[in-house]
Each structure stands twice: as C-alpha cells, then as structure tokens.
Structure 1
Amino acid sequence: MTSATEAPLQPRSMPAILTMAAAIGVIAGIGAWGFRMLIGFVHNTLFLGSLSADYDANVHTVASPWGLGVILVPVIGALVVAWLVKNFAPEAKGHGVPEVMDAIYYNKGYIRPRVAIVKSLASAISIGSGGSVGREGPIVQIGSAFGSTLGTIFPMLVRDRVALIAAGAGAGIAATFNAPLGGILFAMELLLVSVNARNFLVVAIAVVVATHISHLLLGTQPSFYVPQLEIPFYPMFSPVLLFSFLLLGCVMGLVSVAFIRGLYKLEDIFDAMPGNYYSRHALGMLCVGIIMYLLMKQVGHYYVEGVGYATIMDILSGAVMSPWFLLMLAALKLLATCLSLGSGASGGVFSPALFMGATVGAAAGYLCQWLMPEADIAVTTFAIAGMAAAIAGTTGAVLTGIIMLAEMTRDYPSMLPMIITCTAAYGLRKAIMDESIYTMKLLARHHTVPEGLHAAILTTERIVDLMDTNFEVRLPGSDITTAAAVVVQDSKGQIVSVSTSSRENAGNPSVADLKFIVVPAKTTPLAALASLCETGADVILVTKEADSGLAADIVGLLTPAILADLLRADDTLS
C-alpha cells in the first residue's frame, strides 16, 4: 500500500525499461556460458578426476576411471546440492520454472537475488554429477532473478517487473538453446501476464542481446548440429504418413502424462520416507548411479546421465537404430529423471522431455519403416516431432515446442509433422489431466495460474455495451408498466428508488424495491462487478457521467444476471 505522503509509482519510461532489458540479456548470455563451464568443471572433476571445464554435452562421457565407484558420483553431488538448497535457498530445489511463475502471480514479481547464485551452483552440481535433469530450468531462474532484482533496485510497477522477469527467462532459454524465437515464445506462452507491444519489445531486446553474446561465447551452431538436416528439402508427406504423426502425438501425450504423474508421485514417495533431505536425495541419486553403471557395463555408454544430448545426437545421426533399445532408454530416462527431481535435485525438465521425445519418436519411425517399407520415411523427422511433442505435452507451451525444435535442429521441413504431433500431444494430455508439469507443482500449494493467455473481456468491454435499456422514469405513485424496471424520481429529478415489476399471477402485478448503485457508462464489467459485491446492491444504474444523481442521466441498467452471463461467456472463450 502507498502511504498518504508517498507518491504512487509511475510506469518506467520506455528507454529505461529497454536499457534494463539489454542488461538482462547481457547477464543471461554470460550466465548461459558460465553455467555450461561450471557444469563441465563439476562433471570432469567428479567423473574423470580432471580439473577442466572443457565439456561437450553432445558427446558421450568416456568410462570413468573410478569403475564401480562411479555409482557414488551422483551421491556426492546429491549431498552437496542438499546442503546448498537447505541452507541458502529452498527455491533452488526442483526444476525452477514453477517458482518463477509463483513469484509472478503470487509474490508481485519478487525473487530473492541469492536464488540465482544458489540455483547455478546446485544445478551445475546436479547435472555435472550425473543427475537426469536439464540446463534450461536453472538458466530461466537465473535470468528471472536478475530481472526481478533490477525491478526491485529501481522501483517500478508490478507489470514492468514481471516483464523484466519474463525477459530474463526468455533470454536464458534463447542463449542456452540458441533459439531466439523459442525464447520469446517461452516468455509469452508461460510467463507474461499480458502480451502487448511494450512487453514484446522488452523480451525481444533481452533475447537479441543474450543470443548475440551466446554466439560470441558458444558459437552459432544449433543445439543439435546434424549437417544433413540443414539441406533445404521439403518432402510431400502422404496422408498415411501424416496420420502416423497424429498417432505419434497421441503416444507423446500419454508419455507426457506418465512423466508429470511419475515425477510428482516419486516426489511424494521420497517426502514420505523416513530420514531427511540429505538421506532421501542421496538414495535417489544412488539409484541413478546404479542405472548409469549398468548401462555402461552392458551397452557401453551412461546414456541417461546428465542432459542426455549425446543420446539425442546418436538418434539424429542414425547411430542407434533398435526400436526396442530406444524404448528401453526412454523408460530408463523417465525413471532416472523422476528419481533425480523427485528426491530433490536441482535442474530443468526440458532436456529429459527432449530425450524421451527423441527415443519414442525414433522408435515410432523405425516401426513405420517396418510396416510401410515402400514409403520414404525419415526416422529423424519422427524423432524431432517427438521432441517437440514432448515439450508441448509436458509444459503446455505448444508454439514454443514447435519453434524451438526447428531452431535447435535447423530442420524446418519437419514443421508440418511437428505441428500435428504437438497439437495431438497437448490435446490428449489436456483431456486426461488439466495441469502441466509446471502448474502441477503450484497446484500442490493451492496456487493456480492460467495455462496460456486469455483475452481480458471483463477489463476491456464497457457496461454501456451490455446494459438493459428496458426501463422507465416515473414520479411516485405512477401506474406500473410493462418495463423491466421503473426508476422513481422526485420533483427535482433526483433518483429516489428503483423497482422491478413481476407478475406472479396473471393480472396481479407486484413491485419489489431494489438496492441500487450508480456508475458511469465508461465503467468496465470487472469494476462494476466489484462495486456490486462491495455494496450488496441489486441493480446498477448506468449514467452518462460519474456521480450523477439525476434520473434524466440514466441510460440503462445492469443486473447481476447480465454480469453472470458475461462471466460464463468469458469462461467459455478461455
């Protein structure tokens, strides 16, 4: 609340906000690079005993010199992560984006600055020690925390602070995945409360700056660089093949449901276990370490360790071709991710979703090749469509999934299959369960947030377009008419009372006096509804000017029934 002597906050000027957005882009770009270096240092130290930050997540990690002792690497990481999160920032636990959404909708956009530091360290240790989590959640929280901090240092309206938070998140996504359009859409679909030219410009500036810095520090290649995918060949997909992508989308919808429910089920199981955060997280990561070690012993790679991009590269380059092996990897990645995040790791869900989408999609592609040997089927297209669908189904960000995968692979000819699979995956997941992997966590706190943006009907329309004009103005003692309402005025034209006529029996009219309030015609439905609730009035008299008590100024009436119909229409449209 603003005190009587304190001037109300004013919107920040556009140059000031854009300058802050550019600063956020700088931090997000450098942060994405620094975060990768930190992951590499932790990974090389714990897995290989080498003090080096040189690490390419798209290449498989060689067998650790620790042998069977590699099982304990995730456990060591878990203990350090638990210490950091428990003692410095509980918000750093988990996959990060829900905390950002919670801050936007329930904390006026305030995120503690220390969250960025603790999240960076905890997530780098989780990923570097083998946790099955992604880079995007941490970098989103890092960029958002800096945006919130700027919005706190320089006092501003909540809507401006929220725009800076969304700009930080979008910039982080863009810099991490070299996907500027995907970063913008991520901010628009999941974080911005409203989309307008001002907010779009703020996010765009941050994304452009962050992407440029990322190019300078990390290079310009896409996240998954497979040269043959960049060949500008646009195939004609047959109706049967398009139907296959529809089926794949439905399968990915089921996978999304399994991922969301499995993650939070494991979280509940670990929370119910005896012991504390340290013992529970250590147990979860011990199980992950065992899975990694068995995979290395049996098939030659850790596969489910870390972000899993090396496996995705194998799939896109055709190095892994067994559908049964791919489905096994998808199941193990699902288990490893639920064990990691469910027990308390710090990291994102994008990368595990991409892994599962690639493995299930490629398996579907090989199955289609077997069923339709005469058809020209590209397994990589199925894998890419599966990845996009996994993002759309789990997070609810359909456009983000489509555009990001096109940018991450440069495979733009796969756009049509991605549209089909993403919409099918999202639609089926939504039919089975309403909550996404982000909003499910907030629902457990009894915090609800919208999934997608809605048109603000209640705040943009005017009651003059909704009011009932079937009324008459009369002097006291006048006969009852057939009008819906009668406004009684005194000899000076002042409003005395409002009555409505109803006929309980034919020819037997009865009159009911109503409690009324007066509002101007420019009032919005939301403001009128608030006034109705505050006063307990039965009817609203709409006048030409504010504070008018003259019956001659009345232009219409608004009843609770009319507002209720508008609320139902708004709910239907959204």
Structure 2
Amino acid sequence: MSYSYKKTKIPLLWLRRHTSDREFMLISSVLIGLTAGLAAVVLKTMVHYIHVLLAYGNRLLDQPYWLVVFPMIGILLTVLVVRLFFKRGIGRGTANILYSISQKSSMVERHKMYSHVVTSAITAGFGGSAGLESPIVVTGSAIGSNYGREYHLNYRDRTLLLASGAAAGIAAVFNAPIAGVLFAIEVLITDISISAFIPLIISAVVGALCSKIILQEDVLFYIGQREIFAAEHVPFYVLLGILCGMMSVYYTRMVLLIEEHFEAYEAKVYPRALVGGMLLGLLIMLFPPLFGEGYDSILLLESENAAQLLQDSWLAFFGTNEWLILGFVGALALVKVFATTITIASGGNGGNFAPSMFVGACSGFFFARIVNLLNISNLPTSSFAMVGMAGILSGVMHAPLTAVFLIAEITGGYTLMIPLMVVAASSYAMVKYFEPYSLDTKKLAQKGQLLTPNKDRTILHIMKISHLIETEFQPIAPDATLGELVQLIACSRRNLFPVVTADKKLAGVLLLENVREIMFKTEKYNVVKVAELMIKPPAIVQYDDSMASVMKKFDESGAWNLPVLRGETYLGFVSKSSIFTKYRKLLIKTTNVA
C-alpha cells in the first residue's frame, strides 16, 4: 500500500469509527459520486479529443478512408491493451455488474475502476460504433464496490455504494442526475428501501456537478428543445411506441445472434479483431454516421439537418432528395446494431446505451418524416426523433423510467413528458411480451444467475452449493460386510451412510431405519454385504447446480439430505437444515438495500 493511499485512508477510517453507519454512508456517497464523476469526465474528454484529432476537428486527416481504417485500429489496440495488461479479461457491459451483484456478493475486480476507461476511450475515440455509458457504469460500480470492500461494509451497503457509483457515472455522462438514480434502481438494484434513495441522489448530483463544472457544452450531449406537445399527435406517438417495440426486439435478437457467431472464434483473438474491424470499416464506408457513438448524427436529426448525414457517403452522388434521405436514415436504424455488436464482439469495449438512442432517433425521424411525406399529418420530426430515443432505450434496456427522464433532462424541459411516457410505455409493453428479459440480462437469466425482485429467488441465487456441503457422513464400501457397517454405525452420529467405491464414485446410500432389523442378527454379519442393503438415492445434486434446482429436487424427492457429486465423484451431502440456516442469515444480510 502506497504512502499517499495510506494518508487518504486514515481520515476515512477515523470517520468510520466516529460516525454512525448512516452518516458514513452519506459521506461515502459524496466521495464515490466525486470519483465516478471525475472518471466520466476523463473518459468523455479522452474520447472527444481523440475523435477531434483523428477524424474531424481541423481535418488533419481529411480523407474518407481514414474513417474506415481508424475503427479497425481502435479495436486492435483495445485487444492489445487487454491482452498485455488485463490477461484475465475485463468483462464487458452492465451484465457483468449484475453478475457481480448476484454471484460475487457485489465484489467487482479492482482493475475495472480504470480498465474500462482506458479501453473504451481507445475503442470509441478511434471511431468504434459503441457507447461509453456501459463502460462508465462498470467503472462507477467498481469504484463503489471496492470502496465498500476496503472499509469492510456488508453486502447490503456495498451493493448500495456500487449502485451509487453507477448512478454518478450516468449522471455525469449526460448531466442527468434523475436518470442516473432511476437507472440504478431499475437496472441494478430493484429491491430497495426509501432510505437508500438519499445516497443514490447524493452520488448522482455530485457526479452531474463534476461534468457540469468541468466539461464544455460541446462535450456533453444536450438537445435544445424546439417543439411543444400537441394532443392531436397522441395516436401517432402510440404508433411510434409500437414501432420502437418492434425495433427493440429486432435490436435484442440481432445482438445475440451476431455475438453467437463471434463467440465461435473466441480463442482467435487477433484474427477475430481484424475481421471484425474490417467488417466495421466496410459498414462505415457505406454509412459514415456509424463512425463513433453517433451523438453528432442525433443532433443533425433533431435539428432537421438530416441531409448532412450523407456527407462523405457514396449516396451523396445521387443528390439529397427527401426520399433518399428517408431511406438512408431508415437503413441507419437497421445497420447500427450490426456496427455496434461487431465493435464489441470483435474485441472493442463499449455498450448499447448510446446505440439504442441512435436507433431511436433514426426510428422517430423516419416515422415522422414518412407520415409527413405521405401527407397523412404534419408531425414535428425533431420531437419524434427525441421521443424515439426513449422508446428504443426503454425496449432494449427494459428501463422505461430511465428512458423518460433521461430524454427529458437532456432536452432541458418536460413539455414532452406525455409523449415520452406514451412511447416508452408502449415500447416496453410490446417488448416485454416477446422478450421477458432485457438485452443485458437475457443470458444471465438463461444461466440462472440473475437477481430478481422476488426475495426468495434473490437469496437462492446468492447461495452456493460449495458453501453447504457436509462431509462428516461416514462412507462405506459396497463390498463391506454387515458387521463392518454395524461398527461404523456405532461410532457415527448420523443415520445416513454413503456407499462409495474405491475410485470415490457413489454406488448408493444406506439409511439406518432400513437396516435396523437386520443389524441385530449377528449370524448375518459376515454373510450380508452392504451392496445388498443400499438403495438408490432419491435425487442427485451436482456441484454446479443452482440453488433453485437443488430446492426443486428436495421438494420432488421429499428427502432431507441429498448427495453432492462432481460428475460421478462423491463430495458429501447437502441438507435442508443447512440450507434453511444459510437462508436465514442471508435474508437478514440482504433485506432492504440501504
């Protein structure tokens, strides 16, 4: 531990001893909000100036083909950095944090406090078509988690500080503290008490203030609202919500499909990065707005300057008529998911937050413009572009409140609150029917590793078989005699005996009640073998079974103890009593985060 680190830690240790738990949590939320906010500022600044230097800015490299080459370089550099400095990998996306909450007691690796800032800055700065929000969520969560671990906070408080770091990161990136708080509640910790809101709010406000004070306006994403809401447009907003729901389902399924193809080449790190970079470059050559996060393109759609999206595109050769622009924007909404997933799956670092907003803006613009071109109505395209962002964000992330208030905050007003709520709710309702889980949680849910608002399921997810195996059961060999079994019974305090072969495989089990009559017949001590007395266990628990699966086996078998195997190797038994004892302890530990 360095001298400077010790000097920083000593005052906090003094505070830990001389303040109440609540006071220490409030002070901690300020420090975590400040640190996560500064991390977001560093990340946004790095990406902004790399982007300005390489592609736009003063046009130092004013050749369109650089827009194709740079993203590939960024992905390769990201892979190189990860391989050289983070050999175990860095784990990408919000799903990684959800896994840490459910499976690692909210313990996040220390390197994630900085590894995601570095790698995502390289990826996005060089034009990778992914967002910075997921990396900053991971970074803020890691800051909160490691702070809690350093000061020996319990699981409940550590989880709250983890969420506070994530809230501060989102708040700083968008200068949107309400959205930061709602994101933490909707996505990370659904089981929360009212008192937990205070640390979340403090961290989010401090994070937002960091970006507000330090960053220039052109680095932050801000949209000046120009249109007001008209009640007669509500039916069209409902239709937009349905369209956003369909696009969200498309987005989610395409991401998972593309990732599946890339996972087949997971061991071939550099070839995968090279191929992915080349594919991304080809997409950007056809659709230059795919370069980078895409916020510049969103601003063009919102300001109704969509014709500028064709700049540097080969389609500019055909002019800029309305139908060509409409088709180009519609194509962007469809291909953005390919660009983003290729960026991440091939080795780059980023998330789907900003791409979801990009697709939403394109979808809203496309919908409003086609209605106008067909003379069905006269819709404000900028408003529909903004509201579309909330629709896709709500559908992909399964976070409608975050989507509504984020767009409201970055537009600087709440006059579009009704259409935002209509579109976000419509999209979410439709997506929920086809996709019960969000993009970030679907794989975790399939593996049984996802926490839910259901308290019983949450605790079962946290519990591990490896912590519950009892090994004091006396094993006996199948060829042992009844006499040897009686001797074993005499020195054992359990009424259950595993029958284990020489190579440690479970052959069966013996229950004392099943051999009580014969055990007193001494004439059979050397005649009857254990193999004749043993029975098949009512169920088998595998070492890697989920606790939900284990409890189902207990319910179906009616047994009180079940053997645990790793493959075919006997390890011990797990009992209902040990599970219930552990359950009670975890219930006290995890009830009401705060």
User: Do both share a fold (TM > 0.5)?
Assistant: yes
* Corresponding position of 1:158: 155
* Corresponding position of 2:130: 133
Counterpart Cα distance in 1 of 2:217 and 2:442: 35
> Quick one: which of 219, 228, 239 aligns to 1:247?
239
- Residues 499-526 of structure 1, C-alpha deviation per residue, up to 9 Å, x if partnerless? xxxxxxxxxxxxxxxxxxxxxxxxxxxx
Aligned residues: 435
Residue 103 (structure 2) pairs with residue 111 (structure 1): no
* Corresponding position of 1:15: 23
* Corresponding position of 2:33: 25
* Corresponding position of 1:263: 255
Counterpart Cα distance in 2 of 1:352 and 1:284: 18
Residue 95 (structure 2) pairs with residue 98 (structure 1): yes
Q: Identity across aligned pairs (percent)?
A: 29
- Residues 355-381 of structure 1, C-alpha deviation per residue, up to 9 Å, x if partnerless? 0000011110112223445x4521112
Structure 2 residue matching 1:307: 3-state secondary structure:
coil
Residue 334 (structure 2) pairs with residue 331 (structure 1): yes
Q: Is residue 78–residue 278 contact of structure 1 (8 Å, CA) maintained in 2?
A: no
Residue 233 (structure 2) pairs with residue 236 (structure 1): no
Counterpart Cα distance in 2 of 1:26 and 1:180: 13
Structure 1 residue matching 2:112: 3-state secondary structure:
helix
Counterpart Cα distance in 2 of 1:341 and 1:287: 12
Alignment CA distance shift 1:12-1:429 (3 Å): farther
* Corresponding position of 1:34: 42
Alignment CA distance shift 1:159-1:12 (3 Å): farther
Bigger shift: residues 212-221 or 175-184: 212-221
* Corresponding position of 2:578: none
Counterpart Cα distance in 2 of 1:305 and 1:67: 11
Counterpart Cα distance in 2 of 1:267 and 1:70: 24
Counterpart Cα distance in 2 of 1:78 and 1:38: 16
* Corresponding position of 2:570: none
* Corresponding position of 2:409: 407
Q: Which amino acid aligns with 1:161?
A: R
Alignment CA distance shift 1:176-1:226 (3 Å): closer
Structure 2 residue matching 1:92: 3-state secondary structure:
coil
Alignment CA distance shift 1:67-1:387 (3 Å): closer
Alignment CA distance shift 1:222-1:387 (3 Å): farther
> Quick one: which of 397, 400, 403 aligns to 2:399?
397
Alignment CA distance shift 1:200-1:377 (3 Å): same
Q: Is residue 73–residue 130 contact of structure 1 (8 Å, CA) maintained in 2?
A: yes
> Quick one: which of 380, 383, 395 aligns to 1:381?
383
Alignment CA distance shift 1:423-1:68 (3 Å): same
> For residues 103-502 of structure 1, what are the structure 2 equivalents within 5 Å?
103-219=100-216, 223-229=220-226, 233=228, 235-238=229-232, 241-273=233-265, 276-295=268-287, 302-320=288-306, 322-372=325-375, 375-443=377-445, 445-450=447-452, 453=453
Q: Is residue 323–residue 364 contact of structure 1 (8 Å, CA) maintained in 2?
A: no
Per the TM alignment, residue 343 of structure 1 is displaced from its structure 2 partner at its CA by 2.0
Q: Is residue 110–residue 148 contact of structure 1 (8 Å, CA) maintained in 2?
A: yes
Bigger shift: residues 435-444 or 424-433: 435-444
Per the TM alignment, residue 337 of structure 1 is displaced from its structure 2 partner at its CA by 1.2
Counterpart Cα distance in 2 of 1:227 and 1:194: 35
Residue ranges of structure 1 left out of the alignment (5+ in a row)? 1-8, 49-54, 56-60, 296-301, 460-528, 539-574
Residue 82 (structure 2) pairs with residue 85 (structure 1): yes
Bigger shift: residues 405-414 or 171-180: 405-414
- Residues 226-274 of structure 1, C-alpha deviation per residue, up to 9 Å, x if partnerless? 4453x7x4x4312xx3222112111111111111111121111112248
Counterpart Cα distance in 2 of 1:45 and 1:236: 42
Q: Is residue 222–residue 408 contact of structure 1 (8 Å, CA) maintained in 2?
A: no
Counterpart Cα distance in 1 of 2:28 and 2:104: 21
Alignment CA distance shift 1:218-1:44 (3 Å): closer
Per the TM alignment, residue 427 of structure 1 is displaced from its structure 2 partner at its CA by 1.3
Counterpart Cα distance in 1 of 2:134 and 2:110: 16
Q: Which amino acid aligns with 2:414?
A: Y
Alignment CA distance shift 1:29-1:361 (3 Å): same
Counterpart Cα distance in 1 of 2:266 and 2:97: 30
* Corresponding position of 2:563: none
Per the TM alignment, residue 18 of structure 1 is displaced from its structure 2 partner at its CA by 1.1
Per the TM alignment, residue 338 of structure 1 is displaced from its structure 2 partner at its CA by 2.1
Alignment CA distance shift 1:151-1:189 (3 Å): same
Per the TM alignment, residue 333 of structure 1 is displaced from its structure 2 partner at its CA by 1.4
Counterpart Cα distance in 2 of 1:165 and 1:123: 20
Q: Is residue 117–residue 142 contact of structure 1 (8 Å, CA) maintained in 2?
A: yes
Q: Is residue 70–residue 289 contact of structure 1 (8 Å, CA) maintained in 2?
A: yes
Structure 1 residue matching 2:231: 3-state secondary structure:
coil
Counterpart Cα distance in 2 of 1:347 and 1:457: 30
Structure 2 residue matching 1:346: 3-state secondary structure:
coil
> For residues 37-48 of structure 1, what are the structure 2 equivalents within 5 Å?
37-44=45-52, 46-47=54-55
Structure 2 residue matching 1:410: 3-state secondary structure:
coil
Per the TM alignment, residue 445 of structure 1 is displaced from its structure 2 partner at its CA by 4.4
Per the TM alignment, residue 40 of structure 1 is displaced from its structure 2 partner at its CA by 2.8
Q: Is residue 54–residue 60 contact of structure 2 (8 Å, CA) maintained in 1?
A: no
Structure 1 residue matching 2:153: 3-state secondary structure:
coil
- Residues 146-177 of structure 1, C-alpha deviation per residue, up to 9 Å, x if partnerless? 10110110001101000000000011000100
Per the TM alignment, residue 387 of structure 1 is displaced from its structure 2 partner at its CA by 0.3
Counterpart Cα distance in 1 of 2:142 and 2:224: 36
Per the TM alignment, residue 141 of structure 1 is displaced from its structure 2 partner at its CA by 0.7
Counterpart Cα distance in 1 of 2:398 and 2:70: 34
Per the TM alignment, residue 12 of structure 1 is displaced from its structure 2 partner at its CA by 6.7
- Residues 384-435 of structure 1, C-alpha deviation per residue, up to 9 Å, x if partnerless? 1110011100010010001101111124222111111111111111111212
Counterpart Cα distance in 2 of 1:108 and 1:42: 37
